């Protein structure tokens, strides 16, 4: 069920459970997403970060919710597979027993100095070719702060723009696990139409704000995406 829907710039943001919403949607060129990994990330990461204005804010160590306690089921991956022919799925190593063997892997080198944190994150993709590609950007510090950290597992906007660059023909993108909306921010900045689905109302609000801000600071060299048409199987 769609609880709420916003269209901001060229992006469509849906508050709801993607397992219920995905069957209601039409086809997309690509699914680009970052699902829960099932490692309890909602409970333990945090302590502080910057807001959109760059000011440091202390956050409680405990994020609300338990959204990362379980990874999506095989059925949820099957539903994603039905909706597009191209896929980029961050956290692919946590779903390796469900995803097809092979695929072209992407790496985010997080330049971590904390031994207890992951050095890198992996994305499984359906992209043709076998060479593994790596993007390097520190998960903390000025680059991360520039994005305004709003979600415990927030991806850098530059990382999502980089991985969209591997599927240049894909203009209509779905992120069924939108979080704070980084995929849609990258879509807005690169002239694509994205649809994002998020279960948590607080993260949904943050995603709406971030997409709105991205629309207000367009890249003048890139044509802004048009608002999504109401036809084309996108509407209910």
Cβ nearer to ligand SAM, comparing 125 with 182: 182
Q: Does the protein bind ligand SAM through residue 159 (CB under 6 A)?
A: no
Inter-residue contact 128 to 134 (CB < 8 Å): no
Q: Report the distance separating Cα 50 and Cα 72, nearest Å.
A: 30
Between residue 188 and residue 207, which ones bind ligand SAM under the rule CB under 6 A?
197-200, 203
Distance CA 76, CA 89 (A): 13
Q: Return the number of the residue (130 or 217) whose C-beta is nearest ligand SAM.
A: 217
- 219 vs 74: CA distance, rounded Å: 38
Token digits for 98?
A: 């469900």
Residue 17: half-sphere exposure toward Cβ, Cα within 13 Å: 6
Q: Which of 153, 188, 190, 193 binds ligand SAM (CB under 6 A)?
A: 153
Which range of residues in 15-23, 126-134, 137-145, 164-172 is near ligand SAM by CB under 6 A? 15-23
Alpha helices, H only, the chain: 18-21, 41-44, 74-83, 142-147, 157-164, 182-189, 201-216
By beta-carbon distance, which residue lies closest to ligand SAM? 179
Question: Does 86 contact ligand SAM by CB under 6 A?
Answer: no
Among positions 149, 155, 189, 192, the unique one binding ligand SAM when judged by CB under 6 A: 155
- Within 8 A by CB and 6+ apart from 125, the residues are 86, 87, 88, 89, 92, 103, 104, 105, 106, 163, 166
Q: How far is the CB of 203 from ligand SAM (least distance, A)?
A: 5
Q: How far is the CB of 171 from ligand SAM (least distance, A)?
A: 20
Residue 177 sits in the site that holds ligand SAM (CB under 6 A): yes
Of 137-145, 146-154, 164-172, 213-221, which segment contacts ligand SAM by CB under 6 A? 146-154
Q: Which of residues 19-48 bind ligand SAM (CB under 6 A)?
A: 19, 34-36
Q: How far is the CB of 97 from ligand SAM (least distance, A)?
A: 19
Please give the DSSP secondary-structure letter assigned to residue 28.
-
Residues 89-118 that bind ligand SAM (CB under 6 A): none
Burial of 67 from C-beta contacts in 10 A (0-12 / 13-18 / 19+): buried
Of 5-13, 16-24, 49-57, 134-142, the window that binds ligand SAM (rule: CB under 6 A) is 16-24
User: Which residues would be at the binding site for ligand SAM (CB under 6 A)?
Assistant: 17-19, 34-36, 67, 151, 153-155, 177, 179-180, 182, 197-200, 203
């Amino acid at each position: 069920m769609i609880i709420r829907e916003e269209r901001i710039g060229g992006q469509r943001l849906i508050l709801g459970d993607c397992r219920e919403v995905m069957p209601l949607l039409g086809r997309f060129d690509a699914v680009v997403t970052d699902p829960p990994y099932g490692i309890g990330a909602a409970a333990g990461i945090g302590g502080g970060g910057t807001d959109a204005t760059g000011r440091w804010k202390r956050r409680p160590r405990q994020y609300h919710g338990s959204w990362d306690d379980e990874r999506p089921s095989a059925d949820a991956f099957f539903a994603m597979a039905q909706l597009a022919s191209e896929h980029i799925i961050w956290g692919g190593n946590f779903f390796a027993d469900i995803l097809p063997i092979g695929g072209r892997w992407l790496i985010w080198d997080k330049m971590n100095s904390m031994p207890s944190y992951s050095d890198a994150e992996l994305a499984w993709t359906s992209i043709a070719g076998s060479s593994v590609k790596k993007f390097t950007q520190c998960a903390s510090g000025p680059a991360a702060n520039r994005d305004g950290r709003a979600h415990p597992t927030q991806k850098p906007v530059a990382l999502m723009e980089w991985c969209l660059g591997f599927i240049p023909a894909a203009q209509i993108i779905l992120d069924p696990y939108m979080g704070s909306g980084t995929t849609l921010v990258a879509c807005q900045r690169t002239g694509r139409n994205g649809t994002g689905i998020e279960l948590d109302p607080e993260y949904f609000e943050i995603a709406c704000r971030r997409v709105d801000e991205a629309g207000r600071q367009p890249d003048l060299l890139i044509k802004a995406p048009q608002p999504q048409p109401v036809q084309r199987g996108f509407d209910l």
